[in-house]
Chains A and B, each alone.
Chain A
Amino acid sequence: MLNRIFGLETEYGLLIHEDRPDHSPTWFAHQIRDHLFQVQRRGLLDLHHRGHDEPPGNGGFLTNGGRVYLDMGHLEYASPECHSLSDVVASDRAGDLLIQQAIEALGVSDHVSLIKNNIDHETDATFGSHENYLVSRRFPFSRRGLAPLLTFLVTRQIFTGAGRVGAARPQDAWIQMDRLIVPRTAVGARGGVNLPFQISQRSDYIVNDFFEWVQHNRAIVNTRDEPLADPNEYRRIHLLLGDSNMAEYATALKLGTTGLVLQLIEEGLAPQGLEIDEPVEALQEISQDQERNWLIRLQSQRTISALDIQEQFLDCGIRHCQGQDEETDWVLAQWASVLQDLRGDYQKLVGRVDWASKLWLLECFRESERLDWGDPLLKSLDLEYHNLNHAKGLYYGLLEEGRVPRLTTDALIQMAMDQAPKNTRAYGRSALVRHLLGSGEAMDSDRSGTPEGLFPAYVINWSIFQVRGRAPFPMPDPFRTYLDDVRAHLEPIIV
C-alpha cells in the first residue's frame, strides 16, 4: 500500500478458570511477561521510566521490533511498524502466538486462557485494539478535514465489528449529543441486558467524536499528536474505536480500507456531503440495530444506510486508487465483495467478518440447545470465540472446518514472532535488540535497577535509542531500516 506504515496494539484479557483463584489476571500477566523476556529472551526489558505508569521492567522491545508490556494490568502487544497488510497481519498474529506459547510453556494453559476481545460482560470493563496509520504532516487534521474519516469510521463496523452478546449497562453508556455527553438512556436509546446481540464490541464505549485521551472520554478519532516519527514530516492517526479481530481477512480489510480512505483525504478526493448528524449516537445505533438496516441521518437531514455510505467510499477508491499496487486492488475487490454480501444473508460472511461468524455460531447453538438470548451461557460462548488456544477457541473451530480464508501462513507467523519486517524502521531496531541480547547488555535488564546517577545500559524508544557511552541514535523515518547505520553505530561494542 502506498506510503503507509501500519501498526496494531492489542490488549489481551486473561481468563482464570477457577471459582476462587489464588492469583489475579494481572499476576499471570506479570508471569507471562517475565517468561517472555527472562526465560525465552524474546527481547529487552526497558531500563528507564517510559512514563508514570511504565516503570523500568514494565515491558520492552522484542527481536521482531514490536513490544510487549503491561498496561492497566493487561498484557499488551504492539506490532512492529509494517509497510504492507500482509506484514501487519502476520506481525499481529505473531503477538497472539508469542503470548499463547508462553502460557503453554509456563504449564498453566489448562486454567488460564488468553482472550483477544475488548469487553467484560459482567464488569463492563473495556480494553482496546488500537490502530496506527502514518500520514503526511500535510494531512488536513481539522474537524472539517476529518469529517469524511468520521463518517467512514462510524459505518465501517458493518464489516470490522467483532460482535458481542448484550450491551454495556446504561449507566456506563454515554453518548455525545449537541456537544454534551449524556447517558444513552436519556435519549431513549436501547441498551443493557435486554439487547441480544450487536455487531461491535467497542461502540458502546465511544462517547466523543474527537478527543485526545484514551482511557476516558474515548473518541472516534483520538487527536493526541504523537507521531513517533519526524513531527515535521509525519502525523500518526491513532484510532481506538475498533474491535480486536480474530479473522485475518477482517484485520486486513479494516486496515486496508481505512488506509485507502486516509489516502483519499490526503489527496482531497474523499466523498463530500456525508457528514453524520450525531456520529457517536449513529455509531451505537448501527452496532445495536437488530434488523441490520443500519440507517443514519446526515447533517443534510437525508437518511442513508451505512452500506450506501460505504459504497460511496468504495466507488471513490476505485476511481482514484485502483491499479496503484497489488494490495490496493485486493482491498478494493474484497471491500466490494463484502458490501455486496452484506446486502444479503449474513451467513455469507461467516469466516470473513467476525460478528457474522460469532452470530452464526451462537444461533446454531441456540437452536441446538433451545436457548433464548437471555441465557448467560451465550456470554461464555461469546468469550470463547476469542480464546487464542487453538484447541478450544471457537474461531479456530471454524478455521479447522476450512471455512476461514487465510491471508498469511503459520510459517510466516512463526517467523514474524522473531523477525522484523525488512522494509521499515523495525528492522534496524530488531538488529539493535539482537546485538544487545547477544552482547550481554540484557543482563542489565534485571529490575533491581541501575545504580543511582548512571545512565542505563540502553534506552530504546520507537523513534530513538541510546546505548550507554554512545550518542543518541534518532530514527525519525519509519520507512527507513537504518540497518547499516545501526550496525556502524554499535560496531565497537558488538561481541
Chain B
Amino acid sequence: MNYSLMPERREGPGDPMPKSPSPLEEGGGPRRPDTGSPDKDSLLKRMRKVDPKQAERYRQRTGE
C-alpha cells in the first residue's frame, strides 16, 4: 500500500501505515492456488446451513 511510502505521511493523522505485502514478494500477494480441491466437507457443511428460501426473501430494488 502506498500510504506508508508517501513523503507526507508524517503530517497525516494516526500512525504510519505498515507496508503491504508486495505482490511479487515470496509469500506476499497473490500466488497461484494449489490445484487440488479445497476441503469439501467444511464447505458442504457451510452450504447446508443456508436458508433454502433466502433467494425468495431477497427482494431488492433496481439501483444504480
Partner of B58, one of A26, A122, A364, A377: A122
Number of A-B contacts (CB under 8 A): 210
B47 A383 Cβ-Cβ under 8 A: no
> Which residues 9-51 of B sit at the A interface, judged by CB distance below 8 A?
9, 11-14, 17-18, 20-24, 29-35, 37-40, 42-44, 46-47, 49-51
Number of interface residues of A (CB under 8 A): 91
A343 to chain B minimum Cβ distance, whole angstroms, is: 14
CB within 8 Å for A408 and B57 given contacts A128-B63, A419-B12 = no
B18 A412 Cβ-Cβ under 8 A: yes
CB within 8 Å for A365 and B63 given contacts A409-B21, A422-B3 = no
Specify which chain A residues have a CB less than 8 angstroms from the CB of B33 in the assembled complex: 350-352, 403-405
A364 B3 Cβ-Cβ under 8 A: no
A145 to chain B minimum Cβ distance, whole angstroms, is: 25
Tell me whether A45 is interfacial, beta carbon within 8 Å.
no
B52 A376 Cβ-Cβ under 8 A: yes
Expressed in whole angstroms, the Cα–Cα distance for A16 and B33 within the complex equals: 34
Specify which chain B residues have a CB less than 8 angstroms from the CB of A125 in the assembled complex: 60-63
Partner of A398, one of B13, B43, B61: B43
Interface centre among A126, A214, A377 (most CB of B within 10 A): A377
A73 B55 Cβ-Cβ under 8 A: no
B38 A84 Cβ-Cβ under 8 A: no
Expressed in whole angstroms, the Cα–Cα distance for A394 and B17 within the complex equals: 30
Expressed in whole angstroms, the Cα–Cα distance for A19 and B12 within the complex equals: 48
Partner of B31, one of A115, A329, A405, A430: A405
Expressed in whole angstroms, the Cα–Cα distance for A90 and B20 within the complex equals: 10
A128 B3 Cβ-Cβ under 8 A: no
Tell me the nearest residue of chain B to A253, going by C-beta.
Answer: B30
B48 to chain A minimum Cβ distance, whole angstroms, is: 8
A364 B43 Cβ-Cβ under 8 A: yes
Specify which chain A residues have a CB less than 8 angstroms from the CB of B14 in the assembled complex: 415, 418-419
Partner of B8, one of A351, A384, A481: A481
Tell me the nearest residue of chain A to B45, going by C-beta.
Answer: A397
Expressed in whole angstroms, the Cα–Cα distance for A432 and B37 within the complex equals: 49
CB within 8 Å for A376 and B2 given contacts A392-B46, A398-B43, A406-B29 = no
B1 A13 Cβ-Cβ under 8 A: no
Number of interface residues of B (CB under 8 A): 51
B55 A379 Cβ-Cβ under 8 A: yes
A407 B23 Cβ-Cβ under 8 A: yes
Partner of A84, one of B2, B32, B40: B2
Tell me the nearest residue of chain B to A74, going by C-beta.
Answer: B63
B57 A431 Cβ-Cβ under 8 A: no
Tell me whether A18 is interfacial, beta carbon within 8 Å.
yes
Binding site for A on B (CB under 8 A): 1-6, 8-9, 11-14, 17-18, 20-24, 29-35, 37-40, 42-44, 46-47, 49-64
Q: Can you show 30 pairs from A to B with CB atoms below 8 A apart?
A: A11-B64, A17-B54, A25-B59, A72-B61, A72-B63, A121-B58, A122-B56, A125-B62, A125-B63, A127-B60, A215-B62, A248-B30, A327-B23, A347-B35, A377-B50, A381-B47, A384-B47, A397-B47, A398-B38, A398-B43, A405-B29, A406-B29, A407-B23, A409-B21, A415-B14, A419-B14, A421-B1, A421-B2, A434-B13, A484-B11
A-B complex: 4 closest residue pairs judged by Cβ atoms: A127-B63, A379-B55, A405-B30, A330-B23
Binding site for B on A (CB under 8 A): 11, 13-19, 25-26, 71-74, 76, 83-84, 86-87, 90, 113, 115, 120-123, 125-128, 214-215, 218, 240, 248-249, 252, 326-327, 329-330, 334, 337, 347-348, 350-352, 360-361, 364-365, 368, 376-377, 379-384, 392, 394, 397-398, 400-409, 411-412, 415-416, 418-419, 421-423, 427, 430-431, 434, 481, 483-484
